[in-house]
Structure formats: structure tokens, C-alpha cells
């Protein structure tokens, strides 16, 4: 989940494209050559170092439970490590495994203390924000503990460049396994409960755009688009 729908996302971008030869190399058959001109062959396999984007089927399927026999595997450890790496690299507050292309029930959240200094105090208070150390849940289950609904703007790194107001429950409880595979339970309220609900939605193939207040859906850099005469680009890499 993206915390700050700020101008920060509106930076320059370096063009990227795959390049193919324009004629078959001597060692290739004609068929192999013309197939590679349009192939959908995947050359970059998950877990990714970037966020998958809305439209990617991985964001629309129900993520699978991590099987018990793999809880202690180096592969699972690598997925969790990559999630934390990507979470921090893109400076956000929550991530779910499908966002790095892995359809497994894993989420990670972190709300750093320094964020308070970067936001107006009124925003911090109104949104009921508070520090949350890095928290990883494997096969999490969410229970609502406070059904009061709070409506605030939120963004998502998988819907890059946009934000909208979304209603979320004020209090939730997460249960599941921690990074070490131990049973864990955590009560969350306010903004941290919002992060948890947002990330849990990802495990069900849902995005905030499915239940946002559509009238508040906004491009996070619409002002910059005007001031910079449209010369604004949103990077999907970092
Ligand atoms: Zn998200």
C-alpha cells in the first residue's frame, strides 16, 4: 500500500524496450527468429523487483495458502526477503506477495517513525497513524474488531500514480505465522488496520479500486501535469 500520493512519484523515466535483431542470425532457424519477434516468452520471472500493475492476472486471483512443508524452505525465505526489499525500495507501508508476482498468502507491513516528520501533524492525527515495526504474516487471517468505518485517501503501488478515498474498518486482528513460522497475533487500529485490510484484499484478488469512492479517484500528479505542461512521467522502477 502506498501511503503518500505525493509528487514524488512524478519523476523522469528512462525509456525501456526489448530489442530484437532485424534478421535471423546464422545459427537460428527462420521459425525461431520470427517467433521471437512477437513471443510472449517470459524472460523475467517472479519474485519481481518491481510492483505488478493492475491488469496483471496475478492481482486478480485468490492467492494460495503457503503449504506447511514449505514454511521452512529457502524459497519462502527468499520471497519474504524480496517483499521486504521491494517494500523499502519503493518507500511504501505495505506489500502483498501477488504484488511481486507470487500468488501466495504473505503480507508485509511497516510504518516507520520518520513518516511522521514528513506529513502534516493534522494528517497524521486525523488518519490515526502510528508506528508499526516490520511485520510479516504468512497465511494471515483477518478478523474485524471495530466495525466503525473510516474514510481516508489511499494509494497502491499496483495502481501506480492514482489515489482515492476508501472506507475501512477501524480495528482488526491478524492471526497467522510470522517470518520464523511461529504462530502470531496482532491487534491493529486506525491507519495500520487500514494497511492490513488493503494487503489482505490483495490476497483475495481485490484492489482498492473495487470499492473506492469513485468520485475521489485522482491522478497523484495532476497538478504537476499542468505546471510542467504535461512533461511528467511516472516510473515503475526504482
Ligand atoms: Zn496495494
pLDDT in tens, 6-23: 444 444 333 344 445 566
pLDDT of residue 29: 83
Q: What's the mean pLDDT when you consider all of the chain?
A: 90
Domain of residue 135: give its range.
Answer: 45-152+170-208
pLDDT of residue 15: 37
CA 235 to chain centre: 15
Residue 19 within any structural domain of the chain: no
Q: Distance, CA 46 to ligand 1 centroid (Å)?
A: 17
Residue 233 within any structural domain of the chain: no
Report whether pLDDT(30) > 90.
Answer: no
Q: Distance, CA 202 to ligand 1 centroid (Å)?
A: 7
Residues within 5 A (CB) of ion ligand 1: 1, 156
From the list 143, 150, 194, 145, the residue with the least C-alpha distance to 171 is: 145
Distance CA 166, CA 179 (A): 29
The average pLDDT across 72-86 equals 96
Q: Distance, CA 217 to ligand 1 centroid (Å)?
A: 15
Residues 6+ apart with CB under 8 A from 72: 181
Examine the residue annotation and report whether 131 is marked as an active-site residue of this protein. Answer: no
Residue 231 within any structural domain of the chain: no
How many structural domains compose the chain?
Answer: 1
Q: Distance, CA 199 to ligand 1 centroid (Å)?
A: 6
Residue 70 within any structural domain of the chain: yes
DSSP three-state, residue 174: strand
More confident residue, 210 or 26: 210
Handedness of CA 226, 3, 91, 235 (dihedral sign): negative
Q: What's the CATH number where 99 sits?
A: 3.90.45.10
Given the residues 199, 204, 223, 233, select the one marked as catalytic: 199
Task: Name the DSSP class of 134.
Answer: E
Amino acid at each position: 500500500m502506498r501511503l503518500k500520493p505525493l509528487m514524488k512519484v512524478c519523476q523522469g523515466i528512462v525509456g525501456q524496450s526489448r530489442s530484437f535483431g532485424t534478421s535471423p542470425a546464422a545459427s537460428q532457424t527462420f521459425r525461431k527468429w520470427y517467433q521471437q519477434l512477437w513471443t510472449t516468452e517470459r524472460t523475467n520471472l517472479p519474485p519481481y523487483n518491481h510492483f505488478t500493475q493492475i491488469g496483471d492476472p496475478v492481482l486478480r486471483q485468490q492467492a494460495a495458502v503457503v503449504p506447511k512443508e514449505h514454511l521452512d524452505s529457502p524459497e519462502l525465505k527468499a520471497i519474504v526477503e524480496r517483499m521486504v526489499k521491494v517494500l523499502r525500495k519503493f518507500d511504501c507501508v505495505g506489500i502483498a506477495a501477488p504484488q511481486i508476482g507470487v500468488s501466495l498468502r504473505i503480507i508485509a507491513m511497516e510504518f516507520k517513525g520518520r513518516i511522521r516528520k514528513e506529513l502534516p501533524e493534522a494528517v497524521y492525527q486525523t488518519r490515526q497513524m502510528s508506528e508499526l515495526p516490520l511485520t510479516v504474516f504468512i497465511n494471515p487471517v483477518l478478523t474485524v474488531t471495530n466495525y466503525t468505518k473510516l474514510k481516508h485517501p489511499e494509494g497502491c503501488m499496483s495502481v501506480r500514480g492514482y489515489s482515492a478515498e476508501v472506507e475501512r474498518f477501524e480495528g482488526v486482528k491478524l492471526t497467522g505465522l510470522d517470518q520464523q513460522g511461529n504462530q502470531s497475533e496482532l491487534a491493529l487500529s486506525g491507519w495500520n488496520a487500514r494497511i492490513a485490510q488493503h494487503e489482505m484484499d490483495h490476497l483475495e484478488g481485490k484492489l482498492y479500486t473495487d470499492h473506492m469512492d469513485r468520485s475521489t479517484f485522482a491522478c497523484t500528479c495532476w497538478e504537476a501535469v499542468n505546471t510542467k505542461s504535461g512533461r511528467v512521467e511516472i516510473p515503475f522502477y526504482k
